[in-house]
Amino acid sequence: MIHEVFPVGPLQCNCSVLGDERTREAIVVDPGDDIEHVLAILQKHQLTVKQIAITHGHIDHIGGAMKLKAATGAPILMNEGDLEQLALLEIQAAWIGVEAPAPVKLDGLLQDAATITAGGLRATVIHTPGHTEGSSCLYLPAEKKLIAGDTLFAGSIGRTDLPGGSFDKIIDSLYSRVLALPDETIVIPGHGPATTIGEERQSNPFLMRK
């Protein structure tokens, strides 16, 4: 599998390009900004985007989605729990001091346990509410990789003080769903460096409950 992770926008959201080496089809996760850069990565690997998957409705993750859709024709998918976040994009833009993007229109919903595909790539949706109600992770079982959005970071977890956030829910999502994955799973958080489930299980101060 081709997997490029690179930070986009002023908040340095990790955007992922996942590509099938055989069919040259791709899933782009969290194209928050810098769509020219995303398109250059796609071009470099000669990939065609089949799905634009959004881990949650914060502007730094979804801000460039409509631009990417206009350039590629691929559908935008997100969990319905974050529909209310889309109504707040202008307010979110003001918080971080960027221009408000054009309104985002979803083409489909990321349902819990659904599988999204591009060529031979398979990503399973794990709904992990807490950072926002619709926050979702994408798990690639063949690669043992988790794209975690802002649910889990190396050494920390997502903030829950923004609208729609819940500390109890994120802790429940992490213990009941994320920590259910094997230790060797590589975690690509929404911001910052990669980690593994085993590393976080051992040393993340939020996850050391016995």
Q: How far is the CB of 158 from Zn ion (least distance, A)?
A: 6
Tokens of 204: 């993340």
Of the candidates 113, 161, 125, which has an alpha carbon nearest to the alpha carbon of residue 29?
A: 125
- Which CB sits closer to Zn ion, 133 or 150? 150
Q: Which residues pair with 5 in a beta bridge?
A: 16
CB of 57 to Zn ion, least distance (A): 8
Strands 76-78 and 108-109: parallel
Nearest approach, Cβ of residue 144 and Zn ion (Å): 24
Distant-in-sequence, close-in-space partners of 96: CB < 8 Å, separation ≥ 6: 10, 11, 59, 60
In whole angstroms, the minimum distance from the beta carbon of 199 to Zn ion comes to 22
* Closest CB to Zn ion: residue number: 58
Q: Which CB, 20 or 33, lies closer to Zn ion?
A: 33
| Cβ at position 59, least distance to Zn ion in Å | 9
Q: In which element (H, E) is residue 201 found?
A: helix 197-203
Quick one: 90 or 183, whose CB is closer to Zn ion? 90
What length is written for the chain?
Answer: 210
Q: How far is CA 153 from CA 15, 16, 127, in A?
A: 14, 15, 16
**Footprint of Zn ion on this chain (CB under 5 A)?**
58, 150
Our CB check for Zn ion shows the closer of 92 and 196 to be 92
Q: State the minimum distance, in angstroms, from the CB of residue 56 to Zn ion.
A: 6
**Sign of the C-alpha dihedral computed for residues 171, 175, 178 and 182 taken in this order:** positive
- Give the nearer residue to Zn ion in terms of CB position, either 2 or 6: 6
* SS3 (DSSP) at 192: coil
Enter the tokens of residue 54: 């959004």
Comparison of 32 and 119: residue with beta carbon closer to Zn ion: 32
Rg of the chain, C-alpha, whole Å: 16
